[in-house]
Structure 1
Amino acid sequence: MNRQIKLIWDFRGQAAAKTAEHHEIHLKEFLDKENYILKITGFEILNEMYAIAYLVVEEADMIIFRDALRPHRGEVYLVES
């Protein structure tokens, strides 16, 4: 199994949750436009002033997505079983 990378966008402030939720919509649109096989996206509200949006890609595709979408950071995606 190939490693997968979770690309992450951080949002802070009172509108963080809504901004992260809206950003996920654009990430889904990008995946559809690019016909990308993985469709793993999401957003998480970490507290009232901090939320993230994320997209998971194959490690081999990470640089292409990084350059096109400019995430704030990334990490290895681990599937919880």
Structure 2
Amino acid sequence: MDRKIKLLWDFRGPDAKETAKHHTIHLKEFAVLEKLNFHEIAIKENNPMLVSAFIIVDEKDMKTYRDALKPHRGEIA
């Protein structure tokens, strides 16, 4: 069974939620353009001043996403 990796981008400040939502649009565009698989693209509101955009991908695709999109961090999903 392949592991799934969650790649995250953190946004801070009063506009964090809107910025994170906008970032998910670009994550979807990239995946479609590059014909890459993904499991989920969404945001996670840690608090009103810290919101993360994330994409969950198969471990085998992680390096492609990581190298092209430069996430702030990653974790096993």
TM-score, length-scaled by structure 1:
0.88
Query: Across the two proteins, how many residue pairs are aligned to each other?
Result: 77
Aligned to 1:72: 72
Counterpart amino acid of residue 38 in structure 1: F
* Cα deviation digits, residues 5-44 of structure 1 (max 9, x gap): 0000000011100000000010011111111232410012
Contact 2:38–2:55 under 8 Å retained in 1: no
The yes-or-no answer on 1:32 pairing with 2:32 is: yes
Quote the Cα distance in structure 2 between the aligned partners of 1:28 and 1:13.
24
The gaps in structure 1 that reach 5 residues or longer are none
Mapped contact 1:28–1:39 kept (Cα < 8 A): no
After TM superposition, give the deviation of residue 69 of structure 1 in Å.
Answer: 0.1
Identity %: 49
1:1-81 to 2 correspondences below 5 Å: 1-77=1-77
SS at match of 2:61: helix
For the residue of structure 2 that corresponds to 1:54, the secondary structure is strand
RMSD, aligned α-carbons: 1.0
Gaps (5+ residues) in structure 2? none
Scaled by the length of structure 2, the TM-score of the pair is 0.93
